[in-house]
């Protein structure tokens, strides 16, 4: 083997083979990692798949030196190594791209890369040297990046590239990518995959953590599935189907494409006519939005985060004032009504930030379940709460919505995200609403809970409820919606019927490019 | 088993913290060349040694408990009421005015009216900062403190002028005090000590406040607003109004404490120019008692008795072992610091216990700790 073969373009020696053997990590009461074997080779993408709490992060934090394993060893090119801290792992050539970027927005790209590293000029900064090296690396790996740009000026996809450059600058031969696609548009995901392919071609090893099956199938060479801290199996990606992977992850048969059935679309129940509002910063949040949601229909609202989704939901449910336009709920203008009045008109809301807006964390499950109607009979009479009735009501909903909780008296903060969402769903759906606004209803939930929430929304659609589904997850929008509206900078770019919607088409609209312009841009 | 031990430990933590504070106090006593055992024996004897001393402890605990009840309401609504002193004073003034004005009415009626007037006076003094907060988002910590200063000057003005004891008005000394309330208007004594009906009223009110907070729509809303203004707002609760209401109620209980202090102990108002001259700093110490009782109205009862005992016992200790009175204040402060720190420590430990599960290490995108597995049907 010549020297050329063992070197990466960055000049660093390859990690031919990294192996974790019999990794076990116990936390009080939980076996987070149970004798897990995992390995990654130079030049491959090895996907790590599993639900929340399956042990993916525990395993990767052990590899990155954030946790010490109770049992098991790590071998690098066949030799055992000790990784006691992230410094050790960086020295060994292991880099990690975190899900939440570790960048300082007010500094430039070069400053962020240099942050925490010794300067070649001792006390003085060496940003020009850093910039030069960044440009070198960017050229080698085909990453377009300006070292002098401020991070706050960059898009999310560009910020991710800065993170990758940062890792490469520190000499990473093996990269752990923790859910890197969660925050990207479809086009940005494609760009990331191009970079990933280039890196593997050059001899890097990549660990790709995700729970999006189609991405795993598209990018990875091998895939390992974890469940409840145990390894279920490792297979070459070409030899396994998405359905098998999903079943492995959850441990039972799951429906990947929910059965939508056919529902007769009814009258328009919610209409927005030329609605505008301000964002929290006082800039325009919505700009003349026109939308209609019909009975028995799910209207999907697609868009990159921060393009008016939050403002749209809050305006409809009465938490944000409109600056213009009319909101018509079942024939009556409701713009300016309070949340309480809208509650009485049977509008339900599944808020985006369920921990903050959906439940009161220090309240019991039973108290949370009456949040919307606590002042009404039978939950209270002449100002006094009927605790017996409240508890009966809670027990009934816990059973009906399969909420996993020790009791109805458990505090909401002690439940998992999926079960908290079930409490919100139970409360909002059980009151037989006419219109539901669901904002990011499955964000952060695992496959099992996601499947449940989607089934419940489809069930409401069957019952003739008008549903607005606001989601940044395009797969979800495509799986559930009858029509899809794309929001960009507070405006509706277009409304596409389900049959004509493709990820590519929606992706362009999400980036603010209308279909008639798209041809010239794509070609 | 281990978990049960930890729960027991958590429950006993305030007591352990108090003991630790007394241990540090013992060190200080040693530096002053005083035998701590003698000193603490005197403290115990002063607070619980006889029927009389125990009654005195309860007398001191009564205003603490009443203020603490109000604090339970306001702090649960996430409103920080530092205005207990002023609210006590205004409640005392309005109640005293009733007793000095309706001298011909039967005792039970005047007492009832007077206590009600005290309640309203305190409600007014708490309601003003409440309204300012609801309307103009004025920070209630600042406004309630400022209302304290206004209340003191109001009291000084009234006791030197319009409400001065007519007999004092004749004299050159002009001691700023009101006339003494008629004997018929005094709150009944419970046992042949200074213990009066007010202590019983306070305990009954503690139960009522418990019911208010956990069994009524009003209490539900106050707690909801305190825990999560966002979720409450969406639930259709007008958050500013309920914050104002929590502050108003809090002031009302402090006002009642002032009224009961006049009708049960002093039988007249007299001022030395300061707020604590009348209140004995109960408006502040009540906050400590409420926090010690974990903002629970029923737990506030033993908490208030403990602080009442420290106040009474410390007097005796000072007399017996001859230490500077400043040391008593220091000891009280030590108890507060230790108890509050232990509470913070307990919460941290609890959080660590909750987050030591792998779910928490894979934070959901909400970045919330999660325990338990996702439900899989």
Section A76-86 average pLDDT: 91
Inter-CA distances, B266 with B46, B182, B261, B286, Å: 21, 12, 6, 19
Q: What is the pLDDT of residue A473?
A: 84
Strands A298-302 and A347-350: unpaired
Q: Tell me the fold of A13-93+173-252.
A: Rossmann fold (3.40.50)
Least CB–CB distance from A385: residue in B215, B233, B377: B215
Chains A, B: CB pairs < 8 Å: 157
Among B247, B282, B238, B255, which residue's Cα sits nearest to residue B128?
B247
- Per CB-CB distance under 8 Å, the chain B contacts of A354 are 366
Domain boundaries, chain B: 51-341
Residue B258 contacts residue B84 (beta carbons within 8 Å):
no
Query: Under DSSP, is residue A8 helix (H, G, I), strand (E, B) or coil?
Result: coil
Q: How far is CA B261 from the centre of its chain?
A: 13
Q: Regarding beta strands A30-41 and A17-27, do their DSSP bridges make them parallel or antiparallel, or are they unpaired?
A: antiparallel
Contact B232 A229 (CB under 8 A): no
The CATH number that domain A257-346+432-523 falls under is 3.40.50.300
Q: Which of A229, A355, A367 sits opposite B368 (nearest CB)?
A: A355
Beta bridge partners of B308: none
**Which of A99-103, A252-256, A327-331, A471-475 bottoms out in mean pLDDT, i.e. has the lowest?**
A252-256
Distance (Å) from the C-alpha of residue A252 to the closest C-alpha of chain B? 9
pTM of the model: 0.77
Of residues B356, B359, B377, nearest to A28 (C-beta): B356
Using the Cβ of B233 and the Cβ atoms of chain A, whether some distance falls under 8 Å is answered with yes
Q: What is the mean pLDDT of residues B156-170?
A: 90
- B42 within 8 A of B317, measured Cβ to Cβ: yes
Q: What are the domain boundaries of chain A? A: 13-93+173-252, 103-172, 257-346+432-523, 359-430
- Determine the pLDDT at residue B352: 66
pLDDT for A31 equals 84
From chain B, pick out residues whose CB is under 8 angstroms from the CB of A252.
376
- Cβ contact (<8 Å) for B234 and A56? no
SS (H, E, C) A133-160: HHHHHHHHHCCCCCCCCEHHHCCHHHHH
Q: Measured between CB atoms, does A385 come within 8 Å of chain B?
A: yes
pLDDT digits (tens, 9 = 90+) for B38-85: 999 999 999 999 999 999 999 999 999 999 999 999 999 999 999 999
User: What's the pLDDT band for A95 if we cut at 50, 70, 90?
Assistant: very high
End-to-end CA gap in chain B: 30
Peptide bond into A221 cis (omega under 30): no
CA of A93 to nearest chain B CA: how many angstroms apart?
A: 24
Any chain B CB within 8 A of the CB of A305?
Answer: no
Instruction: Tell how strand A347-350 and strand A435-439 pair up.
Output: parallel
Does the structure show a pLDDT above 70 at A176? Answer: yes
- Mean pLDDT across chain A: 89
> Is B215 an interface residue toward A (CB < 8 Å)?
yes
In this complex, do B217 and A383 lie within 8 Å of one another by their Cβ atoms?
Answer: yes
Contact A229 B353 (CB under 8 A): no
Provide, rounded to the nearest whole percent, the portion of chain A with pLDDT above 90.
58
**Which residue on chain A is closest to B352 by alpha carbon?**
A28
Q: In whole angstroms, how far apart are CA B375 and each of A294, A342, A360, A427, B365? A: 32, 31, 20, 18, 18
Contact A449 B234 (CB under 8 A): no
Nearest to A57 among B356, B362, B377 (CB): B362
| A30 to B357: CB separation less than 8 angstroms, yes or no | yes
**B51-341 has CATH 2.60.120 classification:** no
Q: Which residue of A has its CA nearest to B225?
A: A360
Q: How confident is the model at residue B353 (pLDDT cuts 50, 70, 90)?
A: low
Considering only the beta carbons, identify the residue of A57, A349, A402 that sits closest to B361.
A57
Residues A241-277 have pLDDT tens digits of 888 888 888 887 776 677 777 788 899 999 999 999 9
Residue B350 Cα, gap to closest chain A Cα (Å)? 11
Task: Please check whether residue B368 touches A, CB under 8 A.
Answer: yes
Per DSSP, A441 falls in state T
The token pair that represents A342 in the structure block: 């809208």
Tell whether the model's pLDDT for residue A459 goes beyond 90: yes
Residue found by looking up tokens 């008016």 in the block = A308
Instruction: Tell me if A13-93+173-252 shares its fold with A257-346+432-523.
Output: yes
Phi, psi angles (nearest 5°) of residue A468: -105, 120
Cβ–Cβ < 8 Å for A170, A117: yes
Cβ pair A417:B370 closer than 8 A: yes
A474 in contact with B, Cβ within 8 Å: no
Q: Which pLDDT value is given to residue B57?
A: 95
ipTM of model: 0.81
According to the model, what pLDDT value does residue B114 have?
97
């Amino acid at each position: 083997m010549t020297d050329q073969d063992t070197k990466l373009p960055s000049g660093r020696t390859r990690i031919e083979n990294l192996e974790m053997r019999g990794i076990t990590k116990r936390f009080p009461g939980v076996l987070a990692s149970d004798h897990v074997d995992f390995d990654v080779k130079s030049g491959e993408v090895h996907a790590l798949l599993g639900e929340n709490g399956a042990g993916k992060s525990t395993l990767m934090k052990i590899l990155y030196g954030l946790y010490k394993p109770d049992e098991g060893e790590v071998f690098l090119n066949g030799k055992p190594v000790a990784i006691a801290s992230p410094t050790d792992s960086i020295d060994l050539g292991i880099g990690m791209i975190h899900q939440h970027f570790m960048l300082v927005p007010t500094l430039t790209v070069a400053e962020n890369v240099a942050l925490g590293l010794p300067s070649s000029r001792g006390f003085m900064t060496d940003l020009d040297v850093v910039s030069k090296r960044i440009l070198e690396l960017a050229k080698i790996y085909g990453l377009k990046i300006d070292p002098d740009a401020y991070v706050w000026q960059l898009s999310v996809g560009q910020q991710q590239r800065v993170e990758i450059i940062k890792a490469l600058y520190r000499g990473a031969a093996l990269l752990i990518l923790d859910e890197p696609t969660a925050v990207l548009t479809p086009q940005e995901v494609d760009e990331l995959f191009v970079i990933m392919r280039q890196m593997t071609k050059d001899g890097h090893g990549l660990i790709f953590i995700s729970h999006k099956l189609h991405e795993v199938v598209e990018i990875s060479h091998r895939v390992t599935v974890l469940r409840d801290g145990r390894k279920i199996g490792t297979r070459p990606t070409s030899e396994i189907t998405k359905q098998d992977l999903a079943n492995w992850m959850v441990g039972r048969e799951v429906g990947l494409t929910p059965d939508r059935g056919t529902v007769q679309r009814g009258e328009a129940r919610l209409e927005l006519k030329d609605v505008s509002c301000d964002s929290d910063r006082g800039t325009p949040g919505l700009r003349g939005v026109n939308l209609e949601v019909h009975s028995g229909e799910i209207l999907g609202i697609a868009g990159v985060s921060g393009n008016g989704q939050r403002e749209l939901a809050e305006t409809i449910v009465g938490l944000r004032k409109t600056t213009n336009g009319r909101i018509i709920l079942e024939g009556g203008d409701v713009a300016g009504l309070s949340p309480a009045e809208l509650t009485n008109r049977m509008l339900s809301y599944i808020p985006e930030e369920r921990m903050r807006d959906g439940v009161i964390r220090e309240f019991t499950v039973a108290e949370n379940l009456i949040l919307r109607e606590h002042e009404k009979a039978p939950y209270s009479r002449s100002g006094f709460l009927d605790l017996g009735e409240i508890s009966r009501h809670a027990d009934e909903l816990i059973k009906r919505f399969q909420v996993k909780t020790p009791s109805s008296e458990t505090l909401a903060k002690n439940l998992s995200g999926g079960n908290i969402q079930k409490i919100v769903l139970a409360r909002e759906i059980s009151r037989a609403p006419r219109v539901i606004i669901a904002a990011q209803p499955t964000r952060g939930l695992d496959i099992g809970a996601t499947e449940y929430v989607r089934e419940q929304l489809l069930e409401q659609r069957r019952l003739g409820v008008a549903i607005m589904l606001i989601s940044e997850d395009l797969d979800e929008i495509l799986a559930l919606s009858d029509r899809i509206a794309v929001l960009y900078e507070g405006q509706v770019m277009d409304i596409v019927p389900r049959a004509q919607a493709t990820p590519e088409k929606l992706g362009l609209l999400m980036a603010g490019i209308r279909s008639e312009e798209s041809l010239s841009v794509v070609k | 088993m281990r978990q049960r031990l930890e729960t027991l430990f958590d429950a006993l933590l305030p007591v352990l913290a108090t003991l630790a504070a007394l241990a540090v106090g013992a060190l200080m006593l040693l530096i002053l060349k005083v035998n701590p055992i003698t000193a603490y024996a005197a403290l115990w004897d002063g607070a619980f040694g006889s029927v009389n001393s125990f009654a005195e402890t309860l007398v001191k605990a009564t205003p603490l408990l009443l203020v603490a009840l109000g604090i339970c309401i306001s702090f649960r609504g996430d409103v920080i009421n530092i205005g207990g002193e002023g609210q006590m004073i205004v409640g005392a003034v309005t109640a005293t005015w009733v007793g000095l004005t309706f001298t011909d009415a039967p005792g039970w009626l005047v007492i009832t009216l007077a206590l009600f007037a005290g309640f309203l006076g305190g409600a007014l003094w708490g309601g003003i900062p409440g309204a300012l907060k609801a309307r103009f988002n004025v920070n209630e910590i600042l406004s309630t403190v400022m209302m304290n200063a206004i209340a003191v000057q109001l009291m000084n003005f009234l006791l030197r002028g319009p409400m001065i004891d007519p007999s004092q008005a004749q004299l050159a000394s002009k001691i700023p005090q009101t006339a003494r309330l008629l004997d018929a208007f005094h709150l009944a004594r419970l046992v042949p000590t200074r213990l009066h009906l007010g202590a019983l009223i306070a305990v009954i009110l503690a139960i009522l406040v418990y019911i208010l907070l956990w069994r009524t729509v009003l209490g539900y809303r106050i707690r909801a607003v305190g825990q999560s203004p966002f979720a409450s707002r969406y639930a259709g609760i007008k958050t500013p109004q309920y914050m104002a209401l929590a502050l108003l109620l809090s002031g009302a209980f402090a006002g009642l404490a002032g009224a009961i202090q006049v009708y049960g102990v002093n039988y007249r108002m007299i001022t030395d120019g300061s707020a604590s001259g009348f209140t004995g700093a109960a408006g502040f110490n009540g906050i400590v008692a409420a926090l010690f009782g974990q903002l629970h109205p029923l737990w506030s009862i033993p908490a208030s008795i403990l602080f009442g005992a420290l106040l009474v016992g410390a007097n005796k200790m000072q007399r017996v072992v001859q230490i500077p009175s400043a040391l008593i204040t220091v000891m009280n402060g030590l108890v507060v610091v230790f108890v509050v720190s232990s509470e913070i420590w307990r919460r941290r430990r609890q959080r660590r216990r909750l987050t030591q599960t792998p779910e928490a290490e894979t934070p959901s995108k909400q970045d919330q700790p999660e325990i338990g597995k996702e439900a899989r049907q």
